[in-house]
Amino acid sequence: MILVIIIVCIISTIISSSSSSEITNSTNLPQAIIIGVKKCGTRALLKFLSIHPAIAASSTEIHFFDSPKNFQLGLDWYRNQMPIVKNNQYLTIEKTPHYFIDRQTPARIFHLLPEVKLILILRDPIIRAISDYVQIKSRHEFYPTFDEFISMKNFTRWTPIKIGCYVIYLRRWLKYFPLERIHFVDGENLIQRPWQELEYVQQFLNISNHIQQEHFYFNSNKRGFPCVKQPNGCLGTSKGRQHPLISEKTREILKNLYSTCNQQFKQLAQINFSWL
């Protein structure tokens, strides 16, 4: 009799452990995607969102919709790239900033994930351009200064400058998604008051307002950027880099260049961030 009880216990333990490992190994397609914009704080936003107990956030950029090689691997491949869902996590999020400017991505997301929520973080396009420049320069030993780039004849065709005219790309997304499906995050405010931007995102995602001011501190060793009060709570060294000073002339040129783009973006997106 005792032997029978022991065998029953062992079998039920095996069954329960195999079914629980099935649960812990499962991944879901994302219900929300941070689609961009590159150098506007996409990593910080995803890191901060991952504090929420309901959220499973991908640690890498998946590049499914914008890469022909990945896209042909299919939706099951995409699902397998997602983070494993733990405990009470029911909302999977990935971020790939290149999606915003990729021509094919809006239609592809619309056809494969028609219900997905889209999050777009933006910042002052002049600061974004400098940030992009600093990242590219970090990979080159000899590189012209930012001012030198802006004095070149075709500087408006230079990608770090082109991306900042956000309205061009937004128009493409609005051919497939209604405005209500896109949430705009102010990347400048995410640096000053991250909890405020997170409150709006949590509302948009329809999840509890879990992420609060007490989750953050401002780190003077990290140039004053906000970090999360947890081990490895700051972003890595490739985020929050020192920016070069730019001349007043360069600033004026870029201000003029972006003023129409910003105005049109503001109207189309129906938002009013201070820097717009």
In whole angstroms, how close is the CB of 187 to ligand A3P at the nearest point? 6
- Pick from 30, 33, 35, 43: which binds ligand A3P (CB under 6 A)? 43
Under the criterion CB under 6 A, does residue 183 sit at the interface with ligand A3P? no
Under the criterion CB under 6 A, does residue 41 sit at the interface with ligand A3P? yes
Under the criterion CB under 6 A, does residue 190 sit at the interface with ligand A3P? yes
Cβ-based nearer residue to ligand A3P, 41 or 164: 41
Question: CA 1, CA 253: separation in Å to the nearest integer?
Answer: 88
Stretch that binds ligand A3P, among 24-32, 38-46, 137-145, 197-205 (CB under 6 A): 38-46
Stretch that binds ligand A3P, among 40-48, 56-64, 75-83, 146-154 (CB under 6 A): 40-48
Distance of alpha carbon 178 from its chain centroid, rounded?
20
175 annotated active-site: no
Question: CA 137, CA 142: separation in Å to the nearest integer?
Answer: 8
Is 131 annotated as ligand-binding?
A: yes
23: Cβ–Cβ under 8 A, 6 or more apart, which residues? 85
Strand 216-219 with 225-228, pairing:
antiparallel
For 52, the 3-state DSSP assignment is coil
Is 243 annotated as ligand-binding?
A: yes
In whole angstroms, how close is the CB of 201 to ligand A3P at the nearest point? 14
Under the criterion CB under 6 A, does residue 160 sit at the interface with ligand A3P? no
- Pick from 79, 137, 162, 239: which binds ligand A3P (CB under 6 A)? 239
Q: What does 149-197 look like in DSSP terms, one character per residue? A: HHTSTTGGGSHHHHTT-HHHHHHHHTTTS-GGGEEEEEHHHHHH-HHHH
Virtual CA dihedral for 207, 212, 218, 222, nearest 10 degrees?
-20
Question: CA 87, CA 1: separation in Å to the nearest integer?
Answer: 37
Is 123 annotated as ligand-binding?
A: yes
Cβ-based nearer residue to ligand A3P, 19 or 237: 237
- Pick from 55, 163, 235, 254: which binds ligand A3P (CB under 6 A)? 235
For ligand A3P, the binding residues in 53-112 under the rule CB under 6 A are: 97
Distance of alpha carbon 116 from its chain centroid, rounded?
14
Please name which of 116, 106, 95 lies closest in space to residue 48, comparing C-alpha atoms: 95
Q: What does 218-231 look like in DSSP terms, one character per residue? A: EEGGGTTEEEESST
In whole angstroms, how close is the CB of 171 to ligand A3P at the nearest point? 22
Under the criterion CB under 6 A, does residue 164 sit at the interface with ligand A3P? no
Task: Check if the beta carbon of residue 81 is closer than 8 Å to that of residue 58.
Answer: yes
Query: Binding-site residue total for ligand A3P (CB under 6 A)?
Result: 18
Q: Among 38, 39, 95, 117, which one carries the catalytic annotation?
A: 39
In whole angstroms, how close is the CB of 274 to ligand A3P at the nearest point? 16
Q: Please give the annotated binding residues for 3'-phosphoadenylyl sulfate, written as ranges.
A: 39-43, 123, 131, 239-243
Residues annotated catalytic, as ranges: 39
By CB under 6 A, name the binding residues for ligand A3P: 38-44, 97, 131, 134, 190-191, 225-226, 235, 239-241
